[in-house]
């Protein structure tokens, strides 16, 4: 009888404990289900991205190898600001801010907004930096050669396009003809042509080379705002693939770019271009190749089979460039530093002072060497608080740099002796 009572008591205790644990589990699940993850997660993501950009460079930052992806927020702060404000308004409507976690997320969101305001303020400094360095590089009175519209644009701190961020890179008034073959290396020897739908003739040429550490990247992925903007103004813009990885060991990619120049000399007029006014541009490793091509005109070592083609160019635009040595198949130096001489063409060099991929000191060294040894003007713009990806989207910086490029190229073209491919080599 006593045993039966004990057993019954134990059974009742187990049932009670089981019910008690079940209730606690249900409460935990209820608490977890009430946490506003839809608000918390985007706030945490934007907070990390903002911290990665705003925090002083000497502060510890984890996941440095993925830093380039986080740094993108430095160029799209308006998009991030719209995102976090919209998320906060929606969280308020849904009652998520009443939850303790929602309150913490709201406090963090306020810090993010403050950081984004700082980033916007930094971006607004870009136009002044561009204008100041153009004055230093081109000399007093250089703006007298500019059209009135170009002069006005070069002084703008803010344009509506900076709000568009990663959107609307393309323009309806620009026609893009894709995958035109210029060599025999398969898809790595294809180029795209951007030109106005009006099909006007006599447009200057810009050849753009993508970055990617000489191992990746493609022709239609970088500096699209620049290509479409110039093409809409009557330029003929070319974005080209070139050999990468083991196939792109120096000097193969340099040979490819010279083949692109040769293609422009032969076919440019078919697309409304003036092949005698040819600018080279590149980002990161693409800037390295552009500089090498500009500094080695008509060098038979890098023009096998087309030695007689004129590969002299008018000027070079380098953005976030790498200028050191790379792997090579031949004895010749693989750094543009080694080819600088008094006959170097005009250079327009842009670099962010917070570039973690290619330190700004390398750009400074390259520019100092150019200024010491060349007879041509060198414009060097060091963008304040800019990182390696400042040219990917419409942004305060990319628009300021674009206006600087527009002013620089207009100045070059307004001086006939600067555009003469032979005069620059005398």
The domain that contains 339 carries what CATH number?
Answer: 3.40.50.1820
Within this chain, do residues 37 and 134 fall inside the same structural domain, yes or no?
no
Residue range 198-216: average pLDDT?
91
Domain closes at, from 122, 138, 156? 122
- pLDDT band for position 416 (cuts 50, 70, 90): low
Domain closes at, from 89, 122, 155? 122
Residues labelled catalytic: 284, 355, 388
Q: Per the domain annotation, does 253 fall within a domain?
A: yes
Within this chain, do residues 238 and 315 fall inside the same structural domain, yes or no?
yes
Length of the chain: 426
- Does residue 24 carry a pLDDT above 60? no
Q: Per the domain annotation, does 170 fall within a domain?
A: yes
Domain ranges, residue 203: 125-425
How many domains, in total, are found in the chain?
Answer: 2
- Does residue 16 carry a pLDDT above 60? no
User: Which has more pLDDT, 123 or 4?
Assistant: 123
> What pLDDT shows up at residue 8?
44
User: Which has more pLDDT, 44 or 22?
Assistant: 44
pTM for the whole structure: 0.85
Least reliable range by pLDDT among 41-45, 88-92, 385-389 = 385-389
The alpha helices in 184-277, defined as continuous H runs, are: 224-232, 252-267
Within this chain, do residues 55 and 164 fall inside the same structural domain, yes or no?
no
Within this chain, do residues 20 and 97 fall inside the same structural domain, yes or no?
yes
CB 143 within 8 A of CB 137: no
Q: 230-287: per-residue pLDDT in tens? A: 999 999 999 999 999 888 789 999 999 999 999 999 999 999 999 999 999 999 999 9
DSSP secondary structure letter of residue 250: B
Round to whole Å and give the CA distance between 299 and 165: 41
Q: Per the domain annotation, does 93 fall within a domain?
A: yes
Contacts 24+ apart (CB under 8 A), 86-89: 87/38, 87/39, 87/42, 87/43, 88/39
Domain closes at, from 122, 147, 173? 122
Average pLDDT, the chain: 85
Within this chain, do residues 287 and 383 fall inside the same structural domain, yes or no?
yes
Within this chain, do residues 269 and 151 fall inside the same structural domain, yes or no?
yes
């Amino acid at each position: 009888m006593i045993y039966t009572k004990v057993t019954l008591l134990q059974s009742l205790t187990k049932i009670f404990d089981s019910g008690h644990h079940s209730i606690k589990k249900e409460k935990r699940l209820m608490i977890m289900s009430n946490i506003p993850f839809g608000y918390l997660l985007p706030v945490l993501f934007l907070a990390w991205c903002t911290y990665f950009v705003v925090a002083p460079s000497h502060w510890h930052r984890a996941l440095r190898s993925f830093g380039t992806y986080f740094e993108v927020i430095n160029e799209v702060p308006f998009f991030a600001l719209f995102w976090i404000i919209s998320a906060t308004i929606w969280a308020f409507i849904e009652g998520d801010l009443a939850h303790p976690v929602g309150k913490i997320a709201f406090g963090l969101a306020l810090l993010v907004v403050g950081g984004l305001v700082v980033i916007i303020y930094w971006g607004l400094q870009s136009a002044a930096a561009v204008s100041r360095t153009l004055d230093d590089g081109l000399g007093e009175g250089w703006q007298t050669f500019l059209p009135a519209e170009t002069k006005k644009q070069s002084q703008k701190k803010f344009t509506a396009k900076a709000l568009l961020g990663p959107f609307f890179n393309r323009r309806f008034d620009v026609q893009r003809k894709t995958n035109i073959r210029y060599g025999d290396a398969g898809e790595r020897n294809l180029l795209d042509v951007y030109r106005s739908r009006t099909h006007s003739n006599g447009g200057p040429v810009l050849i753009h080379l993508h970055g990617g550490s000489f191992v990746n990247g493609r022709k239609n992925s970088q500096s699209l705002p620049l290509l479409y903007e110039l093409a809409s103004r009557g330029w003929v813009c070319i974005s080209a693939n070139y050999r990468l990885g083991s196939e792109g060991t120096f000097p193969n990619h340099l040979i490819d770019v010279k083949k692109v120049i040769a293609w422009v000399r032969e076919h440019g007029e078919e697309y409304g271009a003036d092949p005698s006014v040819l600018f080279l541009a590149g980002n990161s490793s693409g800037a390295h190749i552009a500089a090498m091509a500009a500094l080695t005109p008509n060098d038979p070592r890098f023009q096998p089979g087309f030695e007689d083609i004129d590969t002299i160019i008018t000027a070079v635009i380098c953005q976030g460039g790498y200028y050191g040595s790379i792997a090579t198949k031949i004895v010749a130096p693989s750094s543009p530093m080694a080819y600088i001489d008094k006959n170097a063409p005009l250079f327009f060099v842009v670099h962010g002072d917070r570039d973690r991929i290619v330190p700004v000191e390398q750009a400074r060294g390259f520019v100092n060497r150019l200024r010491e040894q060349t007879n041509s003007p060198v414009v060097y713009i060091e963008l304040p608080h800019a990182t390696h990806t400042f040219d990917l989207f419409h942004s305060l910086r990319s628009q300021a740099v674009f206006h600087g490029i527009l002013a620089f190229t207009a100045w070059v073209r307004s001086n006939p002796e600067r555009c003469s491919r032979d005069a620059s080599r005398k």
